[in-house]
């Protein structure tokens, strides 16, 4: 399959009428063919109109039809074979193993949501039957069912060219919910976007989905994104990326005549708290695992451990030494693009120039002149300095972490109290230490979407129990997750049916339960029919 | 119990340091003793700080403790006896039966949420057990649990002095979720607010709840409300009232450094569609029930049927005649306050002065000179005129409805297509007619939170299947309901536990399932323990 540089909407591939650009290989700076086209405002409008038309039928597809479509998307992505893996590596500098792993996750997500909609939990079907004899007033028959919210705009992330991009978790959960998806692909990996979109388009055609169920619109800058978020027919937005990008969309969505929800996952510093007993027992292992987590994907994860909190102790000294050694053995890696590379360098420079911050560990340099490379780094400061300087509480995207050394546990608690919202919070502790630290555990729980014990936050499992989100500014709405089956809730709204005849009720709510759903009937969870 | 005119926060009754005012009896305009005090900014800050402190312990109370508190709130409200009912009637002009009915609903809601938290569904407990042997990577033990969001601000509505006020559905659902509540009481019924708050305060004390778990802050104008919504410790807002009031709070909440969710239920015109077969068969009954719904509570319901859509037909003529007769027999009622009464009069005047709008029915005048009285009214226009004049699509709060006469079914569909979001949508139709109108049913479903067949939308049942909310501008977030057990979801956020030792896990997630919850374990819904 050749990459054409086209965009896709209303069931057809077309040359974009906006500006053109080329992707480049971050490993060597070389341009990647072909020239890519972007959408014009008129094309965005046409795509949105098609998505709205598609919504009117797609929202009512049966769970089985939707599941078949999602599975076919996964099959068609796999069928892209090496061409996809090669393009991912060329556009991101991610090694083959990473590209394969991310593809597996992406297809796994699509299949998970297929199973999930067939199971029908997302319907949250509820039935309260009539009580005509109730006093003082009779009760009508009332039933409750989740419906698709409407067309959803998904912004692909630079750091997950497959799993948080064209057919990533946002897209999979929105399609599973019954919402057509308009993807604004990330300009760092447009060839990958196009290949995956070709698989999605093919699956939509294979499964007889309405044109407009899926669109890929590329566009540098924010013109296409703003037009998408402003379109009246669009009913929700999923975003993974920077705080500035996420908040700009959030603001735009809230200022529309009809405000719409934006779920923006904007990253965090993901504090890792190392307690003394754990460090005394296992400092070298913790240090090794920490460096592996810090440098995974060249530190380009939302859940990268960017902040380490610990109390002065000999175990901590051992941790710092072991980390420095492990870092020194860790070769520089290639970042995703020039902007990320510059921001990383500037961030490191800004932090390390401060009097209260020192560099205590550095990754190994590599002899490369071209491309966007970065050495990992461990910075150190004191709790006192950290508390006085909120400028160093922010995330530097890339393989850097800031160790904050506390004089005592109270300082540590003080820092946790002052942390902003986070995607994750990690504690390394002996079981005894953990049981004796209820205040710390409690404070950390208030700040995060995911708590991790004696492990590291990288590696987000895709499963029903996952939460990827967290209190602001980690995300715009802590009530939702963008990973796992819970992600579908972002794109559903309940509708109540009062006094509806059986013949007109949706299948999910019919007395004879033709879909075999687990439903809440008069307060009891059951798969039974209603007499 | 005497009404003191005080406010309540941090576990104590105090004189408000803001302005003072008096409530008045809408039936005769007479002032009602005593003089009421309002909160100063400093008092709001102190109340919020106390609510935050209370949150840190209240959020972790067991379901049983929380349920006991909620039930005790209901008991203490009932214990207020006639004093409460008398004050409700004096402040609202609602008859005794309405006051009793609303009290029953309010206490019923508190008890429903008590049962609900004991059942534990709100936890949405999920467990995915470890798979250490999984290839290519092992899976950690991952668990998921909903937590309380934080202190919640509740704005009482004028039209439900009990059920959407101090101890109404917003308060009950937030307290059930584990969130302390700060109520901004409505200045139309401050004595009622104080009495109910005294019951709540007593219940909190009876049950050993932390000071700050519940506060009542009165304040005319928007100063107290703005201070509450702007306070950093506040994490969500529940509001029932006007579009302008709801949107002002929504905007304020979104412009905070940390935006917070606002669930504002802002009412709607609640279209009622009358299809020909139904009218031909039952026009007189439908008309009678329509007038009863329209004039219930003097039309002061969010779900008041303010718009009637029908196609020209002799059955429709019969409906209009019967409605006019029934209206003429319906005496004028007393509205809640002067502002509502003026707005009602101005709205009627504005609509009926238009060339395309005529008055076809009017309630019976009553000979009263004092007080805020209003006659019900049926207006009529054509579909053509309605479509060309969006100014008559808005809600006039009170007992008025606008009948839009369509030439044919296509015009009717055109109007439904152009409707804004609504709390409810109603269809009167024969079963045959309904089955043959899939397009109409589908279009209406897109616009509403609740669909009603062959009945009227007033009378919101409090049960698991209820949805009170709907697409904007009916509410700010169609994904949530403010009535029924689903209302609790507004105030919960999920937290994920990875690799947590049993000894530190919350009870809801422990292997031995000490709370006996229905949990999703490795995808299966079960009450079983984990081996």
Q: What is the 3-state secondary structure (H, E, C) of A142-190?
A: EEEEEEECCCEEEECCCCCCCCCCCCCHHHHHHHHHCCCEEEECCCCCH
- Residue A219: CB atoms within 10 Å: 26
B204 and B313 part of one domain:
no
B222 and B361 part of one domain:
no
- Catalytic residues of A, which ones? 265, 302
- Give me the sign of the Cα torsion angle A147, A149, A154, A160: negative
CA distance A484 to A245: 23
A253 and A302 part of one domain:
no
CA distance B448 to B440: 13
CA distance A80 to A106: 13
Six-digit token string for B154 = 């509740």
Six-digit token string for B246 = 């709801």
Kind plus residue range of the DSSP H or E element containing A32: strand A31-37
DSSP for A279-309, written as a single string: HHHHHHHHHHHHHHHHHGGGG--TT---EEE
CB contact under 8 A, A501 and B431: yes
In a domain, B518, yes or no: no
CA distance A489 to A472: 18
Q: How many CA atoms lie within 13 A of B529 on its CB side?
A: 7
Closest CA to A373 of A325, A414, A333: A333
Closest chain B residue to A494, measured at CA: B479
Q: Which residues of B touch A259 (CB under 8 A)?
A: 250, 472, 476
A126 and A250 part of one domain:
yes
pLDDT score for B531? 87
Residue with tokens 């778990």: B213
Closest chain B residue to A448, measured at CA: B495
Question: At residue B375, what are phi and psi to the nearest 5 degrees?
Answer: -90, 140
Poorest-confidence range of A158-172, A367-381, B96-110, B335-349? Answer: A367-381
In a domain, A171, yes or no: yes
CB contact under 8 A, B461 and A139: yes
CB contact under 8 A, B499 and A452: yes
User: What is chain B's percent helix, strand, coil content, to nearest 5?
Assistant: 40, 20, 40
DSSP for B13-69, written as a single string: EE--SS-EEEEE-TTT--EEEEEEE---HHHHHHHHHHHHHHHHHHTT--HHHHHHH
Closest CA to A316 of A356, A352, A348, A360: A360
What number of C-beta contacts closer than 8 Å exist between A and B? 191
DSSP for B472-520, written as a single string: TTTBS-TT--SSSGGGGGGGEEEEEEES--TTTS-GGGSTT-TT---EE
Could you read off the pLDDT of B230-282 as tens digits, one per residue?
999 999 999 999 999 999 999 999 999 999 999 999 989 999 999 999 999 99
CA distance B225 to A181: 38
pLDDT score for B269? 97
In a domain, B516, yes or no: no
Nearest residue, CB atoms, B464 vs list A128, A254, A471: A128
What is the pTM (predicted TM-score) of this model?
A: 0.97
A383 and A404 part of one domain:
yes
CB contact under 8 A, B448 and A473: no
A135 and A261 part of one domain:
yes
Residue B1 has pLDDT above 70, yes or no: no
3 state DSSP class of B358: strand
CB contact under 8 A, A499 and B137: no
Nearest residue, CB atoms, A525 vs list B431, B486, B518: B518
Could you read off the pLDDT of A83-92 as tens digits, one per residue?
999 999 999 9
CA distance B531 to B511: 7
Q: pLDDT grade, residue B111 (50/70/90)?
A: very high
Could you read off the pLDDT of A335-389 as tens digits, one per residue?
999 999 999 999 999 999 999 999 999 999 887 667 889 999 999 999 999 999 9
Closest chain B residue to A523, measured at CA: B464
CA distance B330 to B346: 21
B109 and B226 part of one domain:
yes
Closest chain A residue to B501, measured at CA: A431
B107 is catalytic: no
A101 and A235 part of one domain:
yes
- Residue A182: CB atoms within 10 Å: 30
Beta carbons of B372 and B334 less than 8 angstroms apart: yes
- Residue A358: CB atoms within 10 Å: 13
CA distance A64 to A207: 11
Residue A5 has pLDDT above 70, yes or no: yes
Per the document, the length of chain A is: 531
Closest chain A residue to B115, measured at CA: A523
CA distance A144 to A191: 43
Nearest residue, CB atoms, B465 vs list A128, A465, A492: A128
User: What would the mean pLDDT of B78-107 be, rounded to a whole number?
Assistant: 97
Are β-strands A400-406 and A377-382 bridged in parallel, bridged antiparallel, or unpaired?
A: parallel
Q: Give the closest-approach CA distance of A477 to chain B in angstroms.
A: 8
Pick the catalytic residue from B73, B107, B179, B302: B302
Beta carbons of B519 and B527 less than 8 angstroms apart: yes
Number of domains in chain B: 2
Q: For residue B316, what is the DSSP state?
A: H
Sheet holding B492-498, edge to edge: A358-362, A377-382, A400-406, A307-311, A271-274, A422-428, A448-453, B492-498, B142-148, B126-128, B519-521, B524-526
Query: Which residue intervals of A11-95 are DSSP H helices?
Result: 41-58, 63-79, 81-92
Per the document, the length of chain B is: 531
Give residues with Cβ within 8 angstroms of A429, minimum separation 6: A273, A275, A277, A278, A437, A453, A454
- Residue B311: CB atoms within 10 Å: 20
Could you read off the pLDDT of B270-328 as tens digits, one per residue?
999 999 999 999 999 999 999 999 999 999 999 999 999 999 999 999 999 999 999 99
Are β-strands B422-428 and B271-274 bridged in parallel, bridged antiparallel, or unpaired?
A: parallel
Print the domain residue range for B50.
Answer: 41-266+481-490
Q: For residue A455, what is the DSSP state?
A: S
Q: Which residues of B touch A495 (CB under 8 A)?
A: 445, 448-451, 467
In a domain, B8, yes or no: no
pLDDT score for B179? 98
Among A292, A465, A472, which would you mutate to test the B interface (most chain B Cβ atoms within 10 Å of its Cβ)?
A465
Nearest residue, CB atoms, B451 vs list A259, A477, A498: A498
CB contact under 8 A, B454 and A499: yes
B246 and B354 part of one domain:
no
| Alpha carbon distance, N-terminus to C-terminus of chain B | 55
Which ipTM did the prediction report? 0.97
B232 and B283 part of one domain:
no
Phi-psi region of B283 (alpha: psi -120 to 50; beta: other; left: phi over 0): alpha
Residue A140 has pLDDT above 90, yes or no: yes
Six-digit token string for A476 = 């715009």
In A170-248 the beta strands, taken as DSSP E runs, fall at 181-184, 214-217, 236-240
In A307-357 the beta strands, taken as DSSP E runs, fall at 307-311, 333-334
In B228-275 the beta strands, taken as DSSP E runs, fall at 236-240, 262-265, 271-274
- Residue B193: CB atoms within 10 Å: 31
Closest chain B residue to A463, measured at CA: B128
Q: For residue A333, what is the DSSP state?
A: E
Q: pLDDT grade, residue A297 (50/70/90)?
A: very high
CB contact under 8 A, A459 and B149: no
pLDDT score for A369? 67
pLDDT score for B390? 92
Where residue B375 sits, what CATH number does that domain have?
A: 3.40.309.10
Q: Give the closest-approach CA distance of B376 to chain A in angstroms.
A: 24
pLDDT score for A368? 66
pLDDT score for B221? 65
In a domain, B105, yes or no: yes
Closest chain B residue to A421, measured at CA: B258
Beta carbons of B457 and B305 less than 8 angstroms apart: yes
pLDDT score for A371? 81
CB contact under 8 A, A459 and B503: no
3-state secondary structure B98-158: HHHHHHHHHHHHHHHHHHHHHHCHHHCCEEECCECCCCCCCECCEEEEEEECCCEEEECCC
CB contact under 8 A, B465 and A258: no
Please, is B336 exposed, middle or buried when counting C-beta atoms within 10 Å of its C-beta (0-12, 13-18, 19+)? buried
Please, is A349 exposed, middle or buried when counting C-beta atoms within 10 Å of its C-beta (0-12, 13-18, 19+)? exposed
Beta carbons of B229 and B259 less than 8 angstroms apart: no
CB contact under 8 A, B467 and A254: no
Pick the catalytic residue from B118, B265, B395, B411: B265
Q: Which residues of B touch A451 (CB under 8 A)?
A: 495-498, 500
CB contact under 8 A, A463 and B137: no
Closest CA to A153 of A226, A243, A242: A226
Residue B223 has pLDDT above 90, yes or no: no
CB contact under 8 A, B434 and A128: no
Q: Which residues of A touch B518 (CB under 8 A)?
A: 525
Where residue A198 sits, what CATH number does that domain have?
A: 3.40.605.10
A309 and A244 part of one domain:
no
In a domain, B517, yes or no: no
Q: Which residues of A touch B476 (CB under 8 A)?
A: 259
B265 is catalytic: yes
Q: Which residues of A touch B119 (CB under 8 A)?
A: 523
Q: Which residues of B touch A127 (CB under 8 A)?
A: 465
Beta carbons of A174 and A492 less than 8 angstroms apart: no
pLDDT score for B366? 83
Give residues with Cβ within 8 angstroms of A459, minimum separation 6: B137
In a domain, A443, yes or no: yes
CB contact under 8 A, B126 and A464: yes
CB contact under 8 A, A473 and B258: yes
In a domain, A304, yes or no: yes
Closest chain B residue to A525, measured at CA: B518
User: What would the mean pLDDT of B508-513 be, rounded to a whole number?
Assistant: 98
Q: For residue B209, what is the DSSP state?
A: P
Kind plus residue range of the DSSP H or E element containing A524: strand A524-526
Q: Which residues of A touch B174 (CB under 8 A)?
A: none
CA distance B219 to B364: 36
Q: pLDDT grade, residue A531 (50/70/90)?
A: confident
pLDDT score for B139? 95
Beta carbons of B80 and B1 less than 8 angstroms apart: yes
CB contact under 8 A, A477 and B261: yes
Q: Which residues of B touch A467 (CB under 8 A)?
A: 144, 494-496
Six-digit token string for B511 = 């292997």
Are β-strands B307-311 and B271-274 bridged in parallel, bridged antiparallel, or unpaired?
A: parallel
- Give me the sign of the Cα torsion angle B401, B406, B408, B413: negative
3 state DSSP class of A139: strand
Question: Which neighbouring-strand residues pair with B448?
Answer: B422
Mean pLDDT, chain B, integer: 96
Q: Which residues of B touch A478 (CB under 8 A)?
A: 149, 493
B250 and B283 part of one domain:
no
Among B141, B498, B530, which would you mutate to test the A interface (most chain A Cβ atoms within 10 Å of its Cβ)?
B498
The dihedral over CA atoms of A58, A62, A67, A69, expressed in degrees to the nearest 10, equals: -40
């Amino acid at each position: 399959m050749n990459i054409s540089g086209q965009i896709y909407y209303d069931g057809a591939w077309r040359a974009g009428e906006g500006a053109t650009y080329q992707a480049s290989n971050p490993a060597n700076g070389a341009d990647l063919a072909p020239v890519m086209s972007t959408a014009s405002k008129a094309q965005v409008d046409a795509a949105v109109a098609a998505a709205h038309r598609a919504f009117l039928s797609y929202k009512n597809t049966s769970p089985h039809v939707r599941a078949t479509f999602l599975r076919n998307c996964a099959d068609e992505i796999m069928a892209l074979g090496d061409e996809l893996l090669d393009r991912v590596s060329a556009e991101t500098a991610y090694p083959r193993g990473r590209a394969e792993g991310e593809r597996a996750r992406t297809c796994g997500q699509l299949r998970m949501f297929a199973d999930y909609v067939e199971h029908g939990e997302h319907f949250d079907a509820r039935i309260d039957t009539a009580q005509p004899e109730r006093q003082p007033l009779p009760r009508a028959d009332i039933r409750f069912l989740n419906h698709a919210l409407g067309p959803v705009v998904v912004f692909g992330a630079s750091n997950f060219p497959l799993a948080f991009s064209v057919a990533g978790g946002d897209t999979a959960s929105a399609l599973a919910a019954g919402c057509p998806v308009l993807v604004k692909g990330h300009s760092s990996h447009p060839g990958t976007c196009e290949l995956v979109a070709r698989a999605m388009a093919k699956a939509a055609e294979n499964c007889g989905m309405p044109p407009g169920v899926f669109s890929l619109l590329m566009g540098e800058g924010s013109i296409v994104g703003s037009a998408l978020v402003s379109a009246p027919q669009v009913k929700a937005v999923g975003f993974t990326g920077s705080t500035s990008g996420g908040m700009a969309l959030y603001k735009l969505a809230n200022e529309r005549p009809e405000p719409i929800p934006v779920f923006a996952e904007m990253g965090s510093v993901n504090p890792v708290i190392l307690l003394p007993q754990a460090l005394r027992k296992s400092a070298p292992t913790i240090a090794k695992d920490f460096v592996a987590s810090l440098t995974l994907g060249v530190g380009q994860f939302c859940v990268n451990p960017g902040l380490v909190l610990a109390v002065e102790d000999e175990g901590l000294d051992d941790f710092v030494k072991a980390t420095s050694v492990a870092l020194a053995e860790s070769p520089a890696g290639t970042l995703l693009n020039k902007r990320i590379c510059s921001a990383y360098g500037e961030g490191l420079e800004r932090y390390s120039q401060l009097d209260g911050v020192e560099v205590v560990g550095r990754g190994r340099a590599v002899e490369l002149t071209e491309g966007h490379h970065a050495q990992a780094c461990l910075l150190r400061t004191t709790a006192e300095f950290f508390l006085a300087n909120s400028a160093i509480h922010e995330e530097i995207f890339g393989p850097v972490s800031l160790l904050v050394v506390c004089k005592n546990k109270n300082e540590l608690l003080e820092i946790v109290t002052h942390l902003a919202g986070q995607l994750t919070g990690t504690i390394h502790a002996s079981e005894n230490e953990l049981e004796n630290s209820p205040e710390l555990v409690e404070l950390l729980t208030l700040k995060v979407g995911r708590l991790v014990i004696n492990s590291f936050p990288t590696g987000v499992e895709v499963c029903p129990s996952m939460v990827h989100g967290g209190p602001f500014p980690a995300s715009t709405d802590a009530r939702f997750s963008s990973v796992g089956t819970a992600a579908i809730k972002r794109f559903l709204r309940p509708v109540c049916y009062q006094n509806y005849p059986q013949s007109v009720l949706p299948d999910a709510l019919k007395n004879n339960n033709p879909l075999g759903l687990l439903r809440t009937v008069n307060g009891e969870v059951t798969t039974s029919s209603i007499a």
